[in-house]
Structure 1
Amino acid sequence: MFLNLAFLRCGAVPLAALLLAGCAGFSADGGFGPVADATRGRLGQPALWVRSDADRTAVRERTRELLAQPLDAASAVQVALLNHRGLQAQYADLGIAEADYVQATRLPNPGFSFSRKTSGDELKIERAVTVGFMNLLALPFAARIEQGRFAQTRLSVADATLRRAEAARRAWVRAVAAEQAARYAEQVRRAAETGALFARDLARTGNVSVLDHAREQAFYADAAAQLARARERALTAREQLTRELGLWGDDLAFRLPERLPDLPPSRPSLQDLEGYAISNRLDLQAGRAQLDSLSRSLGLTRATGFISVLDASYLFNSETGRPRETGYGIDIEVPLFDWGGARVARAEYVYMQAASRLAEQAINARSLVRETYAGYQARYDIAQHYRDEVVPLRKRIGDENLLRYNGMLVSVFELLADAREQINAVNAYLDAQRDFWLAESELRSALGGRLPDTATASAASDAPQGQ
């Protein structure tokens, strides 16, 4: 598609100057600023796109500071945001999208064609200077389309950052819970070993039956197997956390707290969660940005569907023995077989597909909020029930049985059997506590990275916006 050079000398020169003035440039942060703001506003943690040696040094120093102390949930999230290589790879999508946007605002380069022909002593030279005509006309529309895609990419990258943070939080919960369970399993094994040795000594003197002795031996053997399983689960959970944090080398010696945080005093009052999620989730905002971009692309396709090739050229030819030839040429595609209907139809179906997927995404988001909130409530109730009812009751029963043992009203094996029931109650409470904190993280993800009671007045005020 080409433009007459004479046209450029006349009316196109002011137009070209105007378009050049509107050309976009690369931002200093590659479009990462809004993503960092969204992460800081929703998580309270900074994120960094590592693009220089200075950035790598800063990440290294900050990581060492965080790992110098036992790693709590907030520190684990920050370490993951700074070190996860997969997340850094996704940040590169920002640079790619910005480069596409900047490229879309650039004027098409002029072209030059040259041919030299000889016939005996005669020499013929043809020259043509060309500039893209349809590309020039479509430039503002293409720039707006790429601008929308850049905004969509920022939203998608911010959403990926929030999801990565919650994945790190859940991995931290599992790792701490697994190590806590392994330590408790070690205590149980030692207690079972003591009981088994005591039963063995009594059996040797004939003070207990073979059946009671076998029961204690079986409990000790089972406790040892449970300890081995607990240690294996702790190792697996720690390695999963290591992958989420993006750590290697000397950093693998990080320490974790000895136990999970206590349950909150009460559940926060969460109202209108579905509406909050729809307005707060960045993946839905990215879907809406994509739909808007596809709408503009559809409009451009419809506008250029009938005639997509319109070439104009300025000619400057010379031939031996003849005066120079100047003029212009126009090439236009004749829509004899292809009227552009297929391109328009494809663009329409792509738009319809994106609209349906966005609607599906919104429906699924609402359902996920209801599901995760129900799980959040149930797991809180279960953990609270074990903490306030089951474990204290088991302890009271154990204390009463100990008094009866001291009064020689029950045997030592009845006391040990009751201790096993206490062990089961404590293990169930540890599992319930872990499940609650996992449910809390899942609810955060379903709501867009934060709970309403910690949100700012405007749920979308810190979301990345289009330029």
Structure 2
Amino acid sequence: MRKLVSFSLGTVLMLSACADVATMKRASDQRAGFAPVSDISRRAAGADAVWLQSPAEREANAQRVRAMAHRKTLNADQAVQIALLNNPGLQARYAELGLSAADLWETARGPVPSVGLSVSGLAGGDVTRSIEATLISSILDIATQKPRTRTAELRFRQAQLAAAGETLALAHETRRSWIEAVGAFEAAALIGQSQSTANAASELASELGATGALSRADQAREHAFTAELAAEQAAAKLEAQLAKEKLVRLMGLWGSGTEFFVPDRLPALPGGAPGRADIERQALANRVDLAAGRLELQAIANQYRLNGQTRMIGDAEFATGVEIEREEGESERSPVMDVEFQIPVYDTGGLLSRRGSLEYMRSANSLAQAAVDARSEARAAHTSVTGSYQIARHWRDQVLPLRREINEQALLSYNGMLTSTFELLNDAREQLESELSAAEAKRNYWLAEADATAAIWGGATGGSASEEGEEE
């Protein structure tokens, strides 16, 4: 009897020892999987991400955010940092990472065996006791524990990348919102500078009209310009207020926390043209969505017990289903175009079901398409940054100096009584239009810079400058 009980309990302990202790320890950490998310946030967004898990941490974080934002003028980096510290939706996403860690912990622990005890043989004069220990456990779960743990670990790593992607998306959207808000305030300020001149011209037109020196049509033109300018300024102020409110929402602020300011002007253009000739290579190396796609392939291969990786081919080759032989005699191409995104190919011949083969091929082709899209987005981002910089610099270095010279000469002519007041004002109107166009070009450049970072790391929300241009 003792031997039977000892054997059964020993079997229970043996099965319990099947648990992956190292994985369990890693997955049971309070912030399991968050270190890579924080590292990607610092490298891509230049800001720290935090995972708040206690009232004390939340209180300390709230004090930190208030010290950073309350009645302060925030630059773009500060706005992004506050958003990553204070956005509740991001904290919810981190909680999903924690749930994925809990799933990994439970899978690595393995099935929990149970022991059933029964007493029999108590009959007649002879007292016979026998204790039977019955081990109840899922043989199937025990047999498949290792591959299931491997799959759970891959899903956990995918959850890490998803959390990093959400972090980068918030940082990208916050930076764009800051640029849009500051750009709108800058436009409103430029219009406001011309409003006083327009008001003076309108009053002068009324006085000249009263003396008969100016026709009613000319008076109406001056009054209409003043009224239109006032409407444009009101629209610019409204746009600025709405853009700032979006920024407030992304930063997770409310109540007195919204008492912060943004600059009246965007930063000046950099001294030299931005250089990202290797942006395509950077995108293929750093995009979190591509890394997640590779993990998905590994998870499917593990789920269907594929026989192992047989080779690696490029994204374009996989998408077309043709292996391309590159000969030395091929025409020379830019080094950026030669960058390859390697996709692992597993042996699907041993699959037991058509479903498994189709799932694998679907994921592999989706990954290939994602790599093609990433290449295109990177090239488009580089084109947008360089083109926007050239346009903004042209307005700054060519158009605006000419407009200033025109105004200076017009003022000299006006002081010499060679031109009228209204001719001087007309030149001022044209200068305002040039200044607004230059400010818009500068805003488009900074938006393109933000989109280029998103193209390299992932996390873009789809609000690119090019799309805005199409909507306009």
Fold shared per TM-score above 0.5: yes
**1:371 equivalent in alignment to 2:388:** no
Letter in 2 for 1:191: T
How far does residue 16 in structure 1 lie from its aligned partner after superposition? 4.3
Letter in 1 for 2:298: D
**1:384 equivalent in alignment to 2:390:** no
Residues 41 and 104 of structure 1: is their aligned pair in 2 closer, same or farther, counting only changes over 3 Å? same
Indicate the residue corresponding to 1:185 in structure 2: 191
Residue by residue over 1:367-422, the C-alpha shift from the partner in whole angstroms, topping out at 9 and shown as x without a partner, is 11111211111111111111111111111001001101111111111111111100
Residues 12 and 351 of structure 1: is their aligned pair in 2 closer, same or farther, counting only changes over 3 Å? farther
Q: 2:250 aligns with which of 244, 249, 272?
A: 244
Maintained 8 Å contact 2:190/2:435? no
Maintained 8 Å contact 1:5/1:130? no
How far does residue 96 in structure 1 lie from its aligned partner after superposition? 1.1
- Give matches, 1:18-417, under 5 Å: 18-19=18-19, 21-22=21-22, 24-25=24-25, 26-68=28-70, 69-111=72-114, 129-299=135-305, 344-417=353-426
Residue by residue over 1:306-341, the C-alpha shift from the partner in whole angstroms, topping out at 9 and shown as x without a partner, is xxxxxxxxxxxxxxxxxxxxxxxxxxxxxxxxxxx9
Letter in 1 for 2:31: D
CA distance in 2, matches of 1:237, 1:289: 38
How far does residue 233 in structure 1 lie from its aligned partner after superposition? 1.0
> Which stretch of structure 1 is more off in the superposition, 15-24 or 418-427?
15-24
User: SS where residue 105 of structure 1 aligns?
Assistant: helix
CA distance in 1, matches of 2:293, 2:385: 27
RMSD across aligned C-alpha pairs, in angstroms? 2.9
Where in structure 1 do 4 or more consecutive aligned residues deviate above 4 Å? 4-16, 20-23, 111-116, 125-128
Indicate the residue corresponding to 1:426 in structure 2: 435
Letter in 2 for 1:388: D
CA distance in 1, matches of 2:197, 2:8: 92
How far does residue 103 in structure 1 lie from its aligned partner after superposition? 0.7
Identity %: 39
Indicate the residue corresponding to 2:338 in structure 1: none
Maintained 8 Å contact 1:42/1:449? no
Maintained 8 Å contact 2:90/2:167? yes
Residues 108 and 6 of structure 1: is their aligned pair in 2 closer, same or farther, counting only changes over 3 Å? farther
Residue by residue over 1:336-381, the C-alpha shift from the partner in whole angstroms, topping out at 9 and shown as x without a partner, is xxxxx99833333222221111111111010111112111111111
Letter in 1 for 2:224: A
How far does residue 126 in structure 1 lie from its aligned partner after superposition? 11
Residues 369 and 8 of structure 1: is their aligned pair in 2 closer, same or farther, counting only changes over 3 Å? farther
How far does residue 446 in structure 1 lie from its aligned partner after superposition? 0.3
Higher-RCO chain (CA-CA 8 Å, sequence separation at least 6) = 1
How far does residue 112 in structure 1 lie from its aligned partner after superposition? 5.8
Residues 351 and 423 of structure 1: is their aligned pair in 2 closer, same or farther, counting only changes over 3 Å? same
TM-score by length of 2: 0.79
Residues 21 and 222 of structure 1: is their aligned pair in 2 closer, same or farther, counting only changes over 3 Å? closer
The structure number with the bigger radius of gyration is 1
Letter in 2 for 1:152: Q
Unaligned runs of 5+ in 1: 117-124, 303-340, 451-467
> Which stretch of structure 1 is more off in the superposition, 424-433 or 237-246?
237-246
Unaligned runs of 5+ in 2: 120-130, 309-349, 460-472
How far does residue 435 in structure 1 lie from its aligned partner after superposition? 0.7
- State how many pairs are aligned: 403
User: SS where residue 299 of structure 1 aligns?
Assistant: coil
Maintained 8 Å contact 2:186/2:264? yes
Residue by residue over 1:439-462, the C-alpha shift from the partner in whole angstroms, topping out at 9 and shown as x without a partner, is 110111001169xxxxxxxxxxxx
TM-score by length of 1: 0.80
Residues 289 and 201 of structure 1: is their aligned pair in 2 closer, same or farther, counting only changes over 3 Å? same
Maintained 8 Å contact 1:173/1:437? yes
Residues 438 and 127 of structure 1: is their aligned pair in 2 closer, same or farther, counting only changes over 3 Å? same
Residue by residue over 1:180-236, the C-alpha shift from the partner in whole angstroms, topping out at 9 and shown as x without a partner, is 212222222222111100111122122333332221111111111112211221121
CA distance in 1, matches of 2:63, 2:453: 29
User: SS where residue 24 of structure 1 aligns?
Assistant: helix
> Which stretch of structure 1 is more off in the superposition, 367-376 or 71-80?
367-376
